[in-house]
Structure 1
Amino acid sequence: MTEPAKPRRGPGRPRQDEAEAGPGTQERIRLAAREVFAERGYDKTSVRGIAKVAGVDPALVHHYFGSKDDLFAAAIEVTMEPALVVPAIVGEGPEGIGERLARYFLGIWENPVTRAPMLAVVRSALTHEAAAAVLRRLVLRRVLERVAADLDVPDPTFRAELAASHMIGIALLRYVVQVEPLASADPEDIVVLVAPTLQRYLTEE
């Protein structure tokens, strides 16, 4: 007697044992994505390649994260941790917010674990519109809008964007282009010089 054919899985639908893998598997995929995007960049990274590093079926990656763009955003978020850091930046009030922002931003770039994925993010955003769009959405919605919401100044979002553009410019010259003497400057010296400007952007009317 011929056994009835098993139903095929639809796109993005994991097997039952994969679906029961739980949040630990989801985090493993997210960390694998950060590693692969950092190593290969946005354009050369595939969902299949990330799944291989994470040790899961590609369908499970789609199940948890949807598209490659969504996975790219998740990989950036696990690097920046806005849910933890934004309250630490704005939670102590306006005094010293420029210094806290500078230390947070430089801290991400100075840490070898988070520097590699951030380099991949910036390089990808410079050459691929899809990557740039993901970065804009994450930075705007998850970081800048939350910082701006706590600023008691005119045009808070514009001011937060000015502060972010200042720090991104430093990142490009220091870590991507590696212009001297900025590239080898002591991070503490950069904080001392940059913090007053960020403070003015974020607090002065």
Structure 2
Amino acid sequence: MTGTTARRRGRPRREEASDTRDHILTVAREEFSAHGYEKVSVRGIAKAAGVDSALVHHYFGTKEQVFEAAVEVAFAPALSAQDALVDAPLDDVGERLARFIFGVWENPATRTPLLAIVRSALNNDTAAAVFRRLIASQLLRRIAGRLDVPDAELRAELAAAQLVGCAILRYVIKVEPLASADVEQIIARVAPVVQEHLTGP
């Protein structure tokens, strides 16, 4: 009886902790989006979230770790669908990868936090390192692992550079006519280049 009661009392605390952690991450993404990595502090995130800064440190640690957690959450919907991409036949992986990357950018739900992440990464070495780690561990290494060539990692990185470069010019810098071009037209032109990087001679 006592054990049952204790378990019931424990559940709201765990749920509340989870809600608090999620709330801090949401606020952190908003802060990084509005001010960039360099101008955001753990104390500022805590103040905006209405919590003590010690609680932010408790859940995440340093500002870099808060940023990394925010990046992972922002990428979660896209990364959850990447298994099918990584395991796809290699003869059309260029188009699949292009559709995957541009699909993330075209989706308003993922584009807004992604813009915040990329802008921070462009202006700060620490934020850039976090972004590189995520891209490298979650996607590039898995694709490179399937390529039976000695320069597999370089090929995967060149493919990523092609796609990320196009995405930055289109969605962040907004260079015309790339910014307003039909996304299907962009995919049709970029996908063969990505495929060549990955599987070409």
TM-score by length of 1: 0.81
Contact 2:98-2:163 within 8 A present in 1 as well = yes
Paired positions, count: 189
Amino acid at match of 1:148: A
Judged with a 3 Å threshold, the aligned counterparts in structure 2 of structure 1 residues 53 and 34 are, in CA distance, closer, same or farther, namely same
* 1:44-63 equivalences in 2 (<5 Å): 44-63=39-58
* 1:31-110 equivalences in 2 (<5 Å): 31-81=26-76, 83-110=79-106
Q: 1:18, CA displacement in angstroms?
A: 7.5
How much identity, in percent, do the aligned residues show? 53
What is the aligned partner in structure 2 of residue 146 from structure 1?
142
Counterpart secondary structure, 1:163: helix
* 1:16-27 equivalences in 2 (<5 Å): 21-27=16-22
Runs (4 or more) in structure 1 with deviation over 6 Å come to 17-20
Counterpart secondary structure, 2:82: helix
What is the aligned partner in structure 2 of residue 7 from structure 1?
none
Query: What is the CA deviation profile of residues 125-174 of structure 1, one whole-angstrom value per residue up to 9, with x for unaligned ones?
Result: 22211111221222222221122122233311111100111112112211
| Alignment pair present for 1:178 and 2:180 | no
Q: Which moved more, 1:159-168 or 1:74-83?
A: 74-83
Give the distance between the partners of 1:149 and 1:29, measured in 2 at CA.
35
Amino acid at match of 2:131: L
Give the distance between the partners of 1:21 and 1:59, measured in 2 at CA.
17
TM-score by length of 2: 0.83
What is the aligned partner in structure 2 of residue 114 from structure 1?
110
Contact 1:47-1:68 within 8 A present in 2 as well = yes
Give the distance between the partners of 1:100 and 1:75, measured in 2 at CA.
26
Judged with a 3 Å threshold, the aligned counterparts in structure 2 of structure 1 residues 27 and 88 are, in CA distance, closer, same or farther, namely farther
CA RMSD of aligned residues (A): 2.2
Give the distance between the partners of 1:158 and 1:67, measured in 2 at CA.
31
Q: 1:19, CA displacement in angstroms?
A: 7.6
What is the aligned partner in structure 2 of residue 12 from structure 1?
none
More helix by share: 2
Amino acid at match of 1:32: V
Give the distance between the partners of 1:37 and 1:153, measured in 2 at CA.
39
Counterpart secondary structure, 2:148: coil
Q: 1:20, CA displacement in angstroms?
A: 7.4
Contact 1:19-1:60 within 8 A present in 2 as well = no
Amino acid at match of 2:68: A
Question: Could you list the runs of 5+ residues in structure 1 that have no partner in the other structure?
Answer: 1-16
Contact 2:95-2:195 within 8 A present in 1 as well = yes
Q: 1:187, CA displacement in angstroms?
A: 0.8
* 1:156-195 equivalences in 2 (<5 Å): 156-195=152-191
Q: 1:83, CA displacement in angstroms?
A: 4.5
Query: What is the CA deviation profile of residues 9-62 of structure 1, one whole-angstrom value per residue up to 9, with x for unaligned ones?
Result: xxxxxxxx9787343332332232222211221122222332344443322221
Judged with a 3 Å threshold, the aligned counterparts in structure 2 of structure 1 residues 152 and 27 are, in CA distance, closer, same or farther, namely farther
2:127 to 128, 131, 136: 131
